[in-house]
Amino acid sequence: MSEFRYSNAEKEMSVYGFDGVVKSYCRMCHGGCGVLVYTRNGKAVKIAGNPDCPINHGTLCSKGLASIQLAYHPDRLTYPVRRLGPKGSGRWERISWDDALNAIAEKILLYKERFGPESIVLGYGTGRENEAVIYRFANLLGSPNVLTAGHFCYGPRIATSILTCGTNPIADYANDPRCIMVWGNNIVISNPDEYKGEPFSVALNKGARLIAVDPRMTRIAARADVWLPLRPGTDAALALGMLNVIISEGLYDQTFVENHVHGWEPFVQRVREYPLERVEQITWVPREKIQQAARLFAAIKPAAIQWGVAIEQQITCADNDRLLMAIMGITGNIDVPGGQVLFQQPRIRNVGHFGAHRMLPDSQREKRLGGDRFRLAGNFGIINPKCVWDAILEEKPYPVKMLFLISSNPLLTRAHARYVHRALSRVEFMAVSDFFLTPTAELADIVLPAATWLEMDYIGDFWKRHGYLLPRRKVIQVGECRSDHEMLNDLAHRVGQGEHWWDTFEQALDWILEPLGMTWQEFKKTDGLRGEVVTQKYETKGFSTPTRKFELYSTLLEGWGYDPLPQFREPPESPYSTPEVYRDYPYILITGRRLPGFFHSENRQVPWLRELHRDPVVEIHPETAAREGIAEGDWVVIESPRGRVRQRAKLFAGMDPRIVSAEHGWWFPEKKDPGHGWDESNINMLTDNAYENCDPAMGATHVRTLLCRIYPEKEGRQQS
């Protein structure tokens, strides 16, 4: 453990009796924030932002500040356990790590022999930087099936940007964009991958013009020069309308288009199918506002788009991403300072190398669940979750017998939760690695105690596209908790993969860093590294696409049998696509609003964070509330054709009265019965996972917008 001392830190240690401070790198959510962890008698006692970190400049969100409460939580799982009795019984016995890993290894080898390695599915959730080791384990095992959030979160941005321009274009806040368009993102709350709210806010304070695309009046929208409150799920139409303005008025970068774009003419023809009159009808946004925003973004340079996961959890997931990149590209804001830069990593073995993707045999890759249906996803090792649930319940196209879920709670975070519960209850064997006995873990056979970011050494953000590497240094040890990296390195030896792994995981970190001529022990003494920043690389090298150009017309999608040009598709459930449903469910429901203290289904048991937000909340326009007899603070029922949940009403005038906005990820750790109320307020009780309603190329589940009705609970009103 390397300790770094600063003058301010030394002053605090003297005043408050700290005996050390460790510079590390938080991973309570999407990661990226440098921290100072103060210790006393071997325990972490305070966390503060590191002012020298180039990512967050000393700022830190509520989740990072509360990390210690998570690490030392009294309900935290600190040793392996094995279930006694039927699934969901809530009865467990403590076992050793050797017993736990041997039992898991025995099942892996059994199912591999009897049903093939494809019958074993590994899975992970958002944000623990364990994807590289999980893919390595699965690929070396011969299983093509890794269950992630990548079908509708961040993965589509990577997949479509590789098709379009070679890598994910990142907003370059360090070089002061003069115009920022925030699209389906609330960066000051969510602090998403590659980004933090602080540099965005600084750019605005320096005078950057702001365009906000969001159905809700967020804090960002309230500050915007132009706010486009679109009908939920119509992002593709709005983008096509803006492109129509930019192209028809000649506001595009003609030199870039002539020299570096592939498919311009057919793209222009597609855009002309979306005149502003049509787009206004689809999106509910006045044409004058669309025109104003398009002109503003095209005229002011450099400009950048801050995009978010909301646009990816739709049936138009891949096309939404491609259209925003088209706006970046044709306005001349790709790979320019202050625009959207294609950053480069330091010279390391990256996630692709570590994940051993090339070591998965072609014969096994062809068995990837859903690979023939969702070919863009399959090309990047991503699967649609329903494919796994179907293979468990129906054993088609082959049986899935075992799940190993790591830092994942799909019962709360995947569509059609009742269907997910059925599959998790039926799978023959399931192991889970997590911090707590979550509703998903309650259905497992063995649960392993995972380490928090405070308890591990790791190379932070080596999978991201902003070019930074930062050392995450182990500060504490809690119980018998182990990092997922160490756990899988150990398990790999027990299933015959030892030659491809290491004696200790520190040696794996050395292997990642080896091309730099650096070991982990040397790297952890640094403040971090960043790849060389070179802009407008396409001028000499072109783009890393099949045509070496910026592909508005995707040659790869065309080869896979998809429309090579982006298009708008009406949401599968809407006033226009399903008018018969709309008669009974007359409101458009938005799901997934971000909250400062929670990270999807995490942190509801952390005192500081739960105090910020006690109950699940649904926002309702005052006109709608009056119509339905709902008052502020009422517990109300939200119902879709698939189910119903309860959340507490908050009256909010900052959206169209035809829209309601609910929170996701809700369960109640304080309820000690097995399941912890997983189906009470879980918005995924209402969402659908039908294949025909998913993005046709990426397999993204359309969970962000659906139809609902809302009414007071029959039992009467309960006031705050």
Integer Cα distance of 374 and 536 in angstroms: 33
Closest CA to 591 of 690, 713, 701, 699: 701
pLDDT, averaged across the chain: 95
Element (DSSP H or E) covering residue 489: helix 484-494
pLDDT band at 4 (very low <50, low <70, confident <90, very high): very low
Kindly state the average pLDDT of the residues 460-483: 94
pTM (predicted TM-score): 0.95
> What pLDDT does residue 12 have?
62
Which secondary structure element, helix H or strand E, spans residue 292, and what is its range? helix 287-299
Q: Is the pLDDT of residue 610 over 50?
A: yes
pLDDT over 60 (residue 608): yes
- What whole-number distance in Å separates Cα of residue 49 and Cα of residue 66? 12
Q: 434 and 447 in contact (C-beta within 8 Å)? A: yes
Of 177, 123, 125, nearest in space to 387 by CA: 123
Beta-carbon count within 10 A of 515 CB: 13
How far is Cα 109 from Cα 442, in angstroms, rounded to an integer?
24
- Structural tokens at position 331: 């306005």
Residue 9 has what pLDDT? 58
Instruction: In whole angstroms, give the CA distance from residue 281 to residue 295.
Output: 20
Determine the average pLDDT of the residues in 698-712.
98
Q: Which of 185, 133, 125, 134 is nearest to 155 (CA)?
A: 125
> From the CA atom positions of the chain, what is the Rg in Å?
25
Q: Residue 14: which pLDDT band, with cuts at 50, 70 and 90?
A: low
The mean per-residue pLDDT over the stretch 654-663 comes to: 98
pLDDT surpasses 70 at 7: no
Rounded mean pLDDT, 209-232 = 98
489/507 Cα distance (integer angstroms): 11
Residue 719 pLDDT > 50: no
Rounded Cα distance, 604 and 307, in Å: 27
The rounded percent of the chain whose pLDDT value lies above 70 is 97
Class of 7-71 in CATH: mainly beta
| CATH topology for the 165-343+537-559 domain | Dimethylsulfoxide Reductase; domain 2 (3.40.228)
Mean pLDDT, range 303-323, rounded to an integer: 97
The amino acid at 341: V
Express each pLDDT in 44-92 by its tens digit.
Answer: 999 999 999 999 999 999 999 999 999 999 999 999 999 999 998 889 9
What CA–CA distances, in Å, run from 535 to 326, 374, 561?
18, 33, 34
pLDDT number for residue 718: 42
Calpha distance 398→703 (Å, rounded): 27
In the chain, pLDDT over 90 holds for what percent of residues?
92
Between CA 218 and CA 215 the distance in angstroms is 9
Q: Which residues of 263-273 are buried (b: 16+ CB within 10 A; e: fewer)?
A: bbeebbebbee
pLDDT at 714: 76
Going from the C-alpha of 88 to that of each of 50, 84, 100, 421, 568, the distances in angstroms are 43, 10, 19, 11, 43
**For residue 397, is the peptide bond before it cis, meaning its omega torsion is within 30 degrees of 0?**
yes
Multiple choice CATH, 579-712, 2.60.120.10, 2.30.40.10, 2.40.40.20, 2.40.100.10: 2.40.40.20
Domain ranges across the chain: 7-71, 81-154+347-469+483-530, 165-343+537-559, 579-712
How much is the pLDDT for 720?
33
List pLDDT tens digits, range 264-300.
Answer: 999 999 999 999 999 999 999 999 999 999 999 999 9
Which has the minimum average pLDDT: 137-146, 184-193, 492-501? 184-193
> What is the rounded distance in angstroms from the CA atom of residue 640 to the CA atom of residue 565?
33
Report DSSP letters for 181-192, one per residue. Answer: EEES--HHHH--
Q: Would the CA dihedral through 217, 218, 219, 224 be positive or negative? A: negative
End-to-end, the C-alpha distance of the chain in Å comes to 47
Report yes or no: 311 and 184 within 8 Å, Cβ to Cβ.
Answer: yes
Q: How confident is residue 535, by pLDDT bands cut at 50, 70 and 90?
A: very high
The topology under which CATH files domain 81-154+347-469+483-530 is: Rossmann fold (3.40.50)
- Mean pLDDT score, 414-420: 98
Mean pLDDT of 565-578: 98
Residue 431: strand pairing partners: 404, 446
Dihedral Cα 474, 475, 480, 486, nearest 10 deg: 0
- pLDDT at position 415 is 98
In 3D space, the residue among 454, 435, 462 whose CA is nearest the CA of residue 355 turns out to be 462
Q: What are the tens digits of pLDDT across the range 341-372?
A: 999 999 999 998 999 999 999 999 999 999 99
